[in-house]
Chains A and B, each alone.
Chain A
Amino acid sequence: GQQLNQSPQSMFIQEGEDVSMNCTSSSIFNTWLWYKQDPGEGPVLLIALYKAGELTSNGRLTAQFGITRKDSFLNISASIPSDVGIYFCAGLRSSNTGKLIFGQGTTLQVKP
């Protein structure tokens, strides 16, 4: 089946450091999304990418849609304690069905 390989699986960093995580696939996706999930909550959309090569920022977060349409990355600059959570990439092959394929998640811990 379709899979997204997300790495790293977990990160433990110092407050103020920059963070980078990525997602790769063997299949082409037409849309890439990045979500964050806090404990006990549902995933919350951070950034949506619709075009190959697109680079989009949301505050300290920056994400890019890979040129090959098979990968995406998310950067977080100057991390703060509230950045703690699980970050998921998700890809959409067909916008008609809305069938999102999720990566395995990156668990981020930030040490104050």
Chain B
Amino acid sequence: DTAVSQTPKYLVTQMGNDKSIKCEQNLGHDTMYWYKQDSKKFLKIMFSYNNKELIINETVPNRFSPKSPDKAHLNLHINSLELGDSAVYFCASSVRDRGRTDTQYFGPGTRLTVL
């Protein structure tokens, strides 16, 4: 299936641990994103990469480090996890088409719970 996929779907871990979430898209898109959705369902962009280059870096603690090994992958590594990091993290991708980079397709999300 052509899609944006994320692993794992659920992640439960202890405070202070380091964890990674992986994202892959096989849509041939050149831009990928990470969003955080809090308990009130508010979606906020965290990072964006275009052709493996960081183009958006919102005010996110430096414990969060995105890594893009190639155009089809954007992984999110989180160090020293805190209780407030508990949320659903969504990966998304889009293509720059005729100057427009707007139609973003989202993955199914990773629910992170920090205990």
A positions within 8 Å CB-CB of B: 31, 33, 35, 37, 40-45, 48, 50, 86, 88, 92, 95-100, 102, 104-105
A-B contact pairs, 9 of them (CB 8 A): A31-B100, A33-B104, A42-B90, A42-B92, A97-B55, A98-B48, A98-B50, A102-B44, A104-B42
Given contacts A95-B100, A99-B56, contact A43 B90 (CB under 8 A): yes
In the complex, how many residues of chain B place their beta carbon closer than 8 angstroms to a beta carbon of chain A? 27
The total number of A-B Cβ pairs within 8 Å is 67
Q: Which of B32-70 contact A (CB under 8 A)?
A: 33, 40-45, 48, 50, 55-56
What is the interface of chain B mostly: helix, strand, loop, or mixed?
strand
Contact B105 A45 (CB under 8 A): yes
B positions within 8 Å CB-CB of A: 4, 31, 33, 40-45, 48, 50, 55-56, 90, 92, 94, 99-109
Contact A45 B109 (CB under 8 A): no
Compute how far the CA of A33 lies from the CA of B94 in the bound complex, rounded to whole angstroms.
13
B107 partner residues in chain A, CB cutoff 8 A: 42
Contact A48 B102 (CB under 8 A): yes
| B34 CB, min distance to chain A CBs, angstroms | 12
| B83 CB, min distance to chain A CBs, angstroms | 22
Given contacts A43-B43, A104-B42, contact A95 B101 (CB under 8 A): yes
Contact B31 A102 (CB under 8 A): no
